[in-house]
Structure formats: structure tokens, C-alpha cells
Amino acid sequence: MANPLMLVAVCSAKVLAQQQMPVPRNVIEYSPLDANPFPLKKFRGDWAEEKSFYGREEFDLTLSRVAAIIVRTSLLWRADKPGIRTRATWMAPKYIFVTGGVVSSLGKGVAASSIGCLLESRGFKVTLQKCDPYLNVDPGTMSPFQHGEVFVTEDGAETDLDLGHYERFTHAKLSRDNNWTTGRIYETILTKERRGDYLGKTVQVIPHVTDEIKAIIRKVSEGVDVVIVEIGGTVGDIESLPFLEAIRQMRLELGAENTLFVHVTLVPFIAAAGELKTKPTQHSVKEMLGIGIQPDILLCRSDHHIPGELKKKIALFCNVAESCVISMEDVDTIYAVPAELSKEGLDGQILRLLKLESRPANMQPWIDLVHHMHHPLGEARIAIVGKYVQLEDAYKSLREALLHGGLAHNHKTVLEWIEAEEIDSPETAAARLHGYDGILVPGGFGKRGIQGMIYTIQYAREHKVPFFGICLGMQCATIEYARDVAGLKQADSTEFDPQTPHRVIYKLRELLGVDEMGGTMRLGAWTCRLVPGSFAHKAYGTLEISERHRHRYEFNRDYEKTLVGAGLKITGRTPDENYVEIVEAPEHPWFLGCQFHPEFKSKPLEPHPLFAAFIGAALEHKKQRLRPTSSGVSERQSEPALRAAPRANA
């Protein structure tokens, strides 16, 4: 048997020898004060795989062996002496699971986004994921009236609108891995079963479905400190049970210090009694406990502030700490939510429960943002003529991007939603659209309301009102120009009239013969080159951009010569010049149509250049319109002659 003292001496000698060895080139050194940990693969080099020349491997305590031990135990290793720069190590990410109870539409997406914003303000790197319980593979083929907006990521995934909130509130780079549905998970499992991956086993919800859910959650955890997972639906729904069971298992596997359950619930105010009622919250938590999940933090949604006495009652009956009962009162803008939750101490409780380093928070940019929203210099009135205006969530990112465009000029953006079908003639268009500072026609699919959009665009072009057309809006602008300027009276899109003699817009060449609807569009980020001096170039300040797309039809370049000859400007194309991306009208203060969706990349602290430019043009148009004429009388800003659709303010 070896002498223990001899073993200690040998180990000490190895450590000393290793410390004197030169640091390999692929080892990254950092200070313990550095904010972002490095991925493991960056600091484990070939030297970690070399066999030790010191004898028995199990007694090797050199740095190469320490790194391997860290990988297997997920422990954070640091230098004994503070201030000495050491090799970076990997620390397992923390997981925050956001669930909702009582009713839907409580704002789980905004809550999850706000948590991400708070953690980023303290220097942590986060990512967010949405798990939807419905059986659709993705929301791409769902009606906007059913599901709201389809948000498109850089890699072309058609996802839930909550991913738009995630990107607007944080710097997380999201992809198709950040949004999963029950349908997509079952599709993956059935593909594996048909391939024989389960080796003849009986495929069941537990463990196969829950294991797949845990795998997709872990898949997005690389390179981040905290993963925030929103579970869609309401606790008690049959559809969401596999997701809740999966996160229950993750708590069991990873421990309480690495997982956190945040439950968003409702505390309604009963006007007849003049009281806030906690019973719905108690029952919602009871439902969670029946599944095996004890919420750590309760976000209590209400239109009234929840006083301390009521928080104490909720804490007692729901078995949570009083400091973890957070009042999430209604606010006039969602961008005030992070700062309000910070005032309630939410971020401090998250750091405490997850044993995260307590770093100073910097919420000043968000506080300043809300201040500017509450103290604008003026307002811009924008008319949005679209197909789905009855449900604002159908244009969620668009609405937010327009508000961001106003914030770029420290102005409020007042939006008026107008149903395209109501504009049935040029005279109606003039009556409805007179007095607005700018006009926007958004995206959509199908023939309904197209003629109303074309009348709208004709009015904007002829009356020099700043116009912005997005996706379908750009295609309608092309059709209007072909009909009313180029003289092609029957010009149309094959989407609306397959037999049209002038197909100025037609189906993507790559999709000819493809009849399936799901995922069969030009999706995701594509590069576009701009013409110098164009409206687009002036807005972006660069000649090459990248924007996200979601369309099935395109500009027919067979008509390019005819339309350009009539004055239409093509100011954006793909580098290979196969696709027309941007069109502009001549002799107009600001008229631009783009095939892509710029609203998907706009953020409150980083307004998109095109929306900032559009609102800037609208404000200039307002200024010119209200300027006194030679007779000393200015045009008064009049209200629409007919009632507009629901109104939304910044």
C-alpha cells in the first residue's frame, strides 16, 4: 500500500510543475470579475486530452484534470488568491419556469420578458423559450384572429408573438429552438419511433415525451447564465400537463438552487364588494401543488395595487415567502413593467433563490424611456389600413415598432386602425384618410380588402402623404402604380386573380408546384443592397442591410422595365438581383414599400431606422400642413369623417 505522505508529496510536485509549464495557446484567461463566462469548449484544449507523464492518472491534480472534474460536476472553480487571473470555467445555467393560472392573457410573455430584462440589467446573459401546448407544428398556418401575430426569427422560424416581446426586452438571439409546440414535439417523437430509435419500446408520455421536452429546454442553455422558459396555456389545461411534468422533473434533477418556478396569477377586484379577492390565486396554486410543483414566486396581476396585508394572506395560504408575493399592477405601457417589478424586489428575490451573484442593476435606460413616453414633445397620427384590425395582436410587432419610431423623435404615435374593406372608393379614401400625418398598409394574405388598400395607396401617392407599405403593402403599391401610372389597368397579383393579363406580382418561382401551406414561404433574414440616395439608404445610413421575410409572392421582374420607365424606383434588391425588395415613388416626400418585415427587428431602446424615418416624414408633413398659407390661414388637423377602428396610443 502506498504511503499517504508520499502521495501528497507527489501530487504537490505535480501541481508545482504544472504551474511552471507555459499556458497553451488555446487557453483563455480571465479575471473573476469578468461578467460573461466562457463556453467550456473554449478553454479545454488538446492539452486536456494528453496523458499525464506523472504516473497514475487518478492522482493527477494538474489543471487539465481539474477542468475535467469541473465539467462532470458543474462546480465553479476559482483561484484561491483573489485578484490572480485564472482560467475560465463553466457554470451550469439556471432555469426559470414561468407558468400562468386562473385565466389566459395575464401577460406571461411580458412577465418572462421583464425578468430577462431585469437579469440583463445586472449583467447576466439570458435566453428565453416559449412552449406552446397546441397541436399545430407552428403558428404559421393559424388565423391571426385565432393566434395573433406570427413572429419570424432570423433563421426563418414562424413562432409565437411572445418571442417578439423577448427580443424587444432583451438582447437574446432567438431561433426555432426557442419556440416549441406539442405538435412539433410529437412530430419529432414519431419520426424517431418510425426510425426505430426506441428499439421496440412502448412510447409513452412519461418518459419519452417529458424527456423530449427536457432535451429541448436544455438545448438552448449553451453559453447563457439563465434560461427563462414560458409554459403556454393555463394551469389545469390537459394540453399543458406534459410540459408541467417535465419542469417538475427538472426541479428534481437539478435542485432548488438551479430552478425557479414563477407563477403568474390573478387577484381580481370585485367592484360590488370593493375588495381584492385572493381565492382564485389560492386555487391556482393548489392546482400547481396537485401536479407536484410548489411556486417559488407569485406575480399577482391586478388592476389595483396589492397591499402588504393582502400579500401576507396570499403568502400564508400559498406557502411562499411574503417577499416573493409580487404585485404586478396594470400600467399604461408594457415598457414600464420591468422597472415596476424591480421596485417590488422581484430581481432581488430571483438572485437570492438561485444563489446568483448580487450585481448592481442599471434600469436607467428603461426609466428614461418611460419618462419620454409620458412627456412627449407632440404626436404623430398614423392611419393603418389593414385586414385584421379588429385584433391588435395580429399586428403586435408593427404597433410596437411605430411607437418606437415616435420615441426616436420624442413624440407620441397615435394609431388609428381602419378596416380595408370599408374603403370602397377613392372618395371614401379621401374622406377617411384626410388629416392623418402618415399612412401605413401592413402585411396579410388573401384577396379580402385589397381594393381598399389600393385606393388608400392612390390617395397617399397623389396627396403626398408619407406612405409606408410592408410586404402585402409593397405588393399593393406596385399594383396601384402599374394601374394608375403605368397604364396597366388590369395589373394584379396572381394571389388575387390567377388569370390577370398583367402579373406584376406572382408566386415565388421556387414555390411553383408547391401546394402545402406550412413553412413554404421565403422566410427569415435575407441580405438587401440599397441604391445610394434613396429613402431607404438615408434611413439606414448603409448600402447593405439584412431583414426578415415572410411572403409567398414576389415582384415580377418581367415588368421591371415598364414600371421603371413609368417612374417607379426600385431601390433595394438581393445581391444576386433575383428579388426586388424595396420600391419608392418619384416626386414624393416619403413613399416606400418593402417586401420584408422591418417591425420584427425594432426595439424600444433601438428603434428601427425605417420606422424612425417614416415617423420623421410624418412629423414634417404635419408641420408643412399646419404652416400658415399666404392668406394667413393654416389647414386645421381634422378628425376622420367616419368612425375609425379601435385606437391605440403610445
End-of-domain residue from the set 334, 368, 402? 368
What per-residue confidence (pLDDT) applies to 634? Answer: 52
Query: What's the CATH number where 469 sits?
Result: 3.40.50.880
Residues 486, 394, single domain; the answer is yes
- 79 assigned to some structural domain: yes
> How far is Cα 497 from Cα 93, in angstroms, rounded to an integer?
53
What pLDDT does residue 160 have? Answer: 93
* Residue 639 counted as domain residue: no
Strand order in the sheet with 126-132: 179-181, 126-132, 226-231, 94-100, 259-266, 297-302, 325-329
The label of the residue with cell 438582447 reads 171
Residue 637 covered by a domain: no
* Position 629 confidence tier, pLDDT thresholds 50, 70, 90: low
**Dihedral sign computed on CA atoms, order 175, 177, 178, 183:** positive
Mean pLDDT, residues 158-184: 96
Choose one of 348, 368, 388: the last residue of a domain.
368
Provide the pLDDT for residue 65.
38
CB 124 within 8 A of CB 225: yes
Q: What is the mean pLDDT of the chain?
A: 85
Based on the domain organization, do 484 and 353 belong to the same domain? no
Distance CA 225, CA 280 (A): 34
Cis peptide before 207 (omega within 30 of 0): yes
Q: Quote the strand ranges of 531-613, DSSP E.
A: 544-551, 553-555, 569-573, 580-584, 591-594
As a whole number of angstroms, the distance between CA 361 and CA 619 comes to 36
The whole-number pLDDT of residue 301 equals 96
What integer is the mean pLDDT of 143-153?
Answer: 85
Q: What pLDDT score was predicted for residue 511? A: 65
Q: CB–CB of 440/383 below 8 Å? A: yes
Closest by CA position to 585, among listed 502, 418, 465, 437: 465
Is the domain of 357 the same as that of 393? no
* 645 in a structural domain: no
Q: For residues 60 and 109, state if they share a domain.
A: no
Identify whether residues 488 and 567 lie together within a single domain: yes
Residue 104: per-residue pLDDT: 87
What's the confidence (pLDDT) of residue 466? Answer: 98
Catalytic residue among 471, 476, 528, 594: 471
Question: Which of 185, 177, 139, 184 has its CA nearest to residue 161?
Answer: 139
pLDDT by residue (tens digit) across 471-491?
999 999 999 999 999 999 999
Give residue-wise pLDDT tens across range 570-626: 999 999 999 999 999 999 999 999 999 999 999 999 999 999 999 999 999 999 988
Which residues sit opposite 468 in a β-bridge?
A: 440, 592
Contact 468, 517 (CB under 8 A): no
Domain range enclosing 56 = 4-87
Place of cell 409554459: 231
Q: How far is Cα 177 from Cα 157, in angstroms, rounded to an integer?
A: 9
500 falls in which pLDDT band (50, 70, 90)? Answer: very high
Cβ atoms within 10 Å of 66's Cβ, excluding its own: 17
Q: Assess whether 594 carries a catalytic annotation.
A: no
118 part of a folded domain:
yes
The closest alpha carbon to 109, from 166, 55, 64, 149, belongs to 166
Q: Which residue has the higher pLDDT, 82 or 406?
A: 406
Q: What is the CATH number of the domain that holds 317?
A: 3.40.50.300
Question: Could you give the dihedral angle defined by the CA atoms of residues 594, 596, 599 and 602, in that order, rounded to the nearest 10 degrees?
Answer: -100
Amino acid at 57: E
Calpha distance 605→574 (Å, rounded): 28
Q: Half-sphere exposure (CA, 13 Å, Cβ side) for 166?
A: 26
Q: What is the C-alpha separation between 395 and 444, in angstroms, rounded?
A: 10
- Quote the pLDDT of residue 626: 85
- Whether residues 167 and 235 share a domain: the answer is yes
Residue 642 lies in a domain: no
Tell me which of 38-47, 187-196, 241-250, 615-624 is least confident.
Answer: 38-47
The closest of 544, 539, 552, 392 to 475, measured between CA atoms, is 552
Q: Is 165 a catalytic residue?
A: no
Question: Do 649 and 412 contact (CB within 8 A), yes or no?
Answer: yes
All three cell numbers of 137: 407544428
Is 529 among the domain residues? yes
pLDDT band for position 147 (cuts 50, 70, 90):
confident
Among the listed residues 263, 411, 588, 597, the single catalytic one is: 597
Sign of CA dihedral 305, 308, 310, 314: positive
pLDDT band at 461 (very low <50, low <70, confident <90, very high): very high
502-543: per-residue pLDDT in tens?
999 998 876 665 666 665 789 999 999 999 999 999 999 999
Question: In this predicted structure, what is the pLDDT of residue 3?
Answer: 53
Per residue in 149-159, pLDDT tens?
999 999 999 99
In this structure, the answer to whether residues 335 and 435 fall within a common structural domain is no
Note whether 35 and 15 are same-domain residues.
yes
Nearest to 334, CA basis, from 397, 262, 279, 252: 397
Residue ranges in 434-506 assigned as alpha helix (H) = 450-462, 472-484
Average pLDDT over residues 416-421: 94
Residues 36, 83, single domain; the answer is yes
* Residue 79 scores a pLDDT above 80: no
Domain count, the chain: 3
Cα maximum dimension of the chain: 110
- Looking at 409, 547, 599, 608, which residue is catalytic? 599
Q: What is the pLDDT of residue 518?
A: 60
| E runs forming strands in 338-397 | 379-386
- How much is the pLDDT for 26? 39
Percent pLDDT > 70 in the chain is 81
d(CA 250, CA 231): 14
Q: Are residues 359 and 339 in the same domain?
A: yes
Burial class from Cβ neighbours inside 10 Å (0-12, 13-18, 19+) for residue 431 reads middle
Same domain, 34 and 108: no
Residue 252 lies in a domain: yes
Q: Are residues 268 and 196 in the same domain?
A: yes
Indicate yes or no: pTM above 0.75.
yes
User: Which cell is 68 given?
Assistant: 475535467
Region 66-91: mean pLDDT is 39
Q: Which three cell numbers stand for residue 589?
A: 416626400
**Which grid coordinates are listed for 179?**
419556440
599 flagged as catalytic: yes
* 623: exposed, middle or buried (Cβ count in 10 Å: 0-12, 13-18, 19+): exposed
Per-residue pLDDT at 89 exceeds 90: no
Which residue has better confidence, 417 or 512? 417
Sign, CA dihedral 250-151-604-110, equals: negative
Q: Domain end: 320, 349, 368, which one?
A: 368
